[in-house]
Amino acid sequence: MNNRETKIVDERIAEENSMHILVTGGAGFIGSNFIRFMRQKHPDDVLINLDALTYAGNLTNLADVAEGTHYHFVHGNILDRDLVTQVIRQYQVDTIVNFAAESHVDRSIADPLVFVDTNVRGTAALLDVARQTQITRFLQVSTDEVYGSIPGTGHVTEAAPLRPSSPYAASKASADLMALADHHTYGLDVVITRCANNYGPYQYPEKLIPLMIQHGLTGEPLPVYGDGQKKRDWLHVTDHCRAIDLVLRRGQSGSIYNVTGNNEHANLAIVHRIIQQLHIDPQLIQLVPDRLGDDSRYALDATKIRRELGWAPTISFDAGLSETIDWYQAHRGWWERLNTD
Ligand SMILES: NC(=O)c1ccc[n+]([C@@H]2O[C@H](COP(=O)([O-])OP(=O)(O)OC[C@H]3O[C@@H](n4cnc5c(N)ncnc54)[C@H](O)[C@@H]3O)[C@@H](O)[C@H]2O)c1
């Protein structure tokens, strides 16, 4: 075979091995970063983004990802089993990555039922359709919050008990249990990732980092809960996407993988970094009453994904945060157009 023929054969093999992935919630923060990441890393995969476009879903997050033979958007709800079944058949989907969720703890405290609908019932509905349509692999995107608050200096492995504190965390823990039950009961090939707090571009400005950057740029007060000493563990969204891709391809069926680079910071310390980079007045910080029942610390042990799959974070928190602040400064139009009421 000459070079050209070899290239054609290689392309055909890649096409035959390509995955047809239903990405739910792909218009949100992590989902849109995941779609962009996958289009670059695995251009032969076919990605179908099913998203209900809630306040957090935004198609402009994917304005640079062209619709065509390898990327399709479908407007719909994961609770709509008929639609999901039809999409799976139409696009010959073999794999599901479930990002679709209500994701904000404050909103779950104000209105927990929508979290049960999407995060619990929605995941259960998707799992059911996955089983009936003989999906090859189902990846459930979960969170470190399912383990609850981790006092002191310890870190939790995947074997730690689930002790969710907020309605959000309880709904995510329930979804994880439904996924594991489907693996145990029906043999559905399920894998679960439990990741630390993500940050990076396209995050809706209700979560700490984009909210503080946005307020800093508009000169509004920076509201920090309690004394600002609650600790969170941060991972750049691209490193999370890389972990999901690895677990999707190489994770052991029925397994859970914690994902973190162990970047623990008190909320107030992060706000001070943002203030420093934006050159704004620290007097803008406003300590506000603590969130109801707020966890003091999350801290994962991610030895398993490092050892089994060779994953490691690639973006340092200093560089990632600095780039994220630059991104929000450069993309003012993106967040000014959002409805943040
Ligand atoms: N953001 C984090 O720090 C973090 C950390 C760990 C895990 N997670 C998990 O990752 C996933 C994505 O988080 P995110 O921060 O990108 O959330 P997000 O709120 O930015 O996006 C959620 C997306 O899901 C869509 N959606 C909501 N309900 C839906 C439904 N019923 N049917 C279809 N689509 C629906 C929304 O329109 C939106 O596009 C969630 O499952 C979340 O629990 C998030």
User: What domain range includes position 159?
Assistant: 11-200+236-261+298-314
Share of the chain above pLDDT 70, in %: 94
What ligand 1 atom has the least distance to the C-alpha of 197? 3
- Give me ligand 1 centre to Cα 119, in Å: 9
What ligand 1 atom has the least distance to the C-alpha of 103? 19
- Decide: 294 and 145 in contact? Cβ < 8 Å: no
Write out pLDDT tens, residues 189-248.
999 999 999 999 999 999 999 999 999 999 999 999 999 999 999 999 999 999 999 999
Write out pLDDT tens, residues 99-149.
999 999 999 999 999 999 999 999 999 999 999 999 999 999 999 999 999
Helix axis angle, 167-186 to 123-132, nearest 10°: 20
The structural domain count of the chain equals: 1
53 within domain boundaries? yes
- Is the CB of residue 52 below 6 angstroms from any atom belonging to ligand 1? yes
* Best mutation site among 75, 103, 123 for ligand 1 pocket (most ligand atoms within 8 Å of CB): 103
320 within domain boundaries? no
271 within domain boundaries? no
Q: What are the DSSP calls for 178-208, one per residue?
A: HHHHHHHHH---EEEEEE-EEESTT--TTSH
218 within domain boundaries? no
220 within domain boundaries? no
Distances in Å between the Cα of 229 and the Cα atoms of 265, 270, 277, 322 are: 9, 10, 20, 21
- Is the CB of residue 78 below 6 angstroms from any atom belonging to ligand 1? yes
Which residues carry out catalysis?
A: 144-145, 168
33 within domain boundaries? yes
- Decide: 266 and 231 in contact? Cβ < 8 Å: yes
196 within domain boundaries? yes
What ligand 1 atom has the least distance to the C-alpha of 172? 43
- The band of 9, judged by pLDDT with boundaries at 50, 70 and 90, is very low
108 within domain boundaries? yes
CATH number at residue 112: 3.40.50.720
